[in-house]
A and B are shown apart, each in its own frame.
Chain A
């Protein structure tokens, strides 16, 4: 038992500090993808509920593609495809060597996937908002931007929060895929530790436990967020 603690300790003997670095990487990747995913998802939802057929069709193609592709494949398409594309464009201007940053590729791929799911969450939240809210805002003389900012968005946050928090937990788990393109996250370090120390079960269990802890922490945050979003509602 003692040797397990040594293996997990911080410092030269243990892998604790490496795994902690991995946790930082996982969390920062998820946190970095989240705002882009949310913003893109919101814009997509606006496009999907617009009256313009071409806009709706284009947004639906986006969702079909990024919800249909496995996340791992999306990641590879962004990572390798992006690399090939940029290199070919650069080759037009001369000889350059360019390497796509794995963090950036992971961020783009995760944002693409997250946004296509988030757009559906926002869309169903939009549908749950009564038409009278728009009419009421109109009667008060609010413009489109004001209606959105003052009337619709505050309700939208509360309505879409359950689905979005689910998506956040999925995003947190999906960050594990970037270990495959060489980004040093929890799984990557656990893998390295497992190979070096020949204790795979210990390190992968630790990795799983860390993900569980992250999920528990997120749930705590989400329930506080939920209470904040529902602060205007009458408590029953």
Chain B
């Protein structure tokens, strides 16, 4: 609005009129600082390598556009996904085996970790040190060594195991893997549970005791619910670690996702096997992580201010 439109020139109205505010300065382009250059280059590299992987996958399955086809459109898509038709189903079954292994050992681990946690926290010296030794051993040694120790090591005790009719259990790689993973995750879960229970303030115990609640009720109704909320995040991390760790069972001839990948690669020398496996693991872990964040946000909504 120009000044001329308000009142007569030189009049009172014009002299007292408030000037219109100047429009905000047009957004200037951000300067190309070194960090921005590095960031953009890096991001570009990621995008290029992502496109490179897509191109590699399309190329290895001979996906191509053919012009001048007979269909409705003058363009059609041809492909020759020999690898995927041959190994696709196996990948899916491997994926399911991975999930099954992680699921079964997590559940058994939960069952085992509860009594072990009580042992670890008990005032009894013997029970406490047994649990401490167990946790220390399984957290201090590589999962691969534990799997080998159980799977190959059982061979040393073949005769005694046969005499008590347990050899069938250790002869099967799947049982050994589940056993090793259960023992391993239970050791980690003991520490998660113990940490979260011991972190609950003493006042909670004292207040419950002042109210005359028995210890068992206090633990079950007051301490455990709070401890479990604290331990949600470490439990989620433990599941992710188990999914990632489960890849090593491929070494003891279990055809999980990694096992199927190795088998497909050793037969075809087609590197897309590993690319598909990487995508599958990334999707699995990322989905779980995001879902877990949601679950955690939902369960702790009463703690938000």
Contacts and interface: CB of A to CB of B under 8 A. Distances in A.
Interface stretch (A50-58, A101-109, A220-228): A50-58
B144 A176 contact: yes
Interface stretch (B73-81, B193-201, B207-215, B271-279): B271-279
B129 interface: no
B42 A55 contact: yes
A47 B38 CA distance: 10
B271 A84 contact: yes
Interface in B209-239: none
A173 interface: yes
Given A208-B146, A211-B141, A201 B245 contact: no
Given A55-B36, A71-B244, A64 B286 contact: yes
Contact of A52 (B39, B156, B244, B248): B39
Interface in A23-80: 47, 50-59, 61, 64-65, 67-73, 76-77, 80
A72 B36 contact: no
Interface residues of B, number: 47
A70 B245 contact: yes
A169 to B, nearest CB: 8
A181 B39 CA distance: 34
Contacts, number: 141
- The residue in B244, B250, B261, B281 that gathers the most chain A C-beta atoms within 10 A of its C-beta is B244
Interface string B157-168: 100000000000
Interface of B: 33, 35-36, 38-40, 42-43, 45-46, 136-137, 140-146, 148-149, 152-157, 243-248, 250-251, 258, 261, 265, 271, 274, 277-278, 281-282, 285-286, 289
Given A54-B42, A176-B144, 10 more contacts: A50-B39, A64-B282, A71-B247, A73-B274, A179-B144, A187-B142, A204-B149, A211-B140, A212-B136, A212-B140
Interface of A: 47, 50-59, 61, 64-65, 67-73, 76-77, 80-81, 84, 169, 173-177, 179-180, 187, 190-191, 194, 198-202, 204-205, 207-208, 211-212, 215
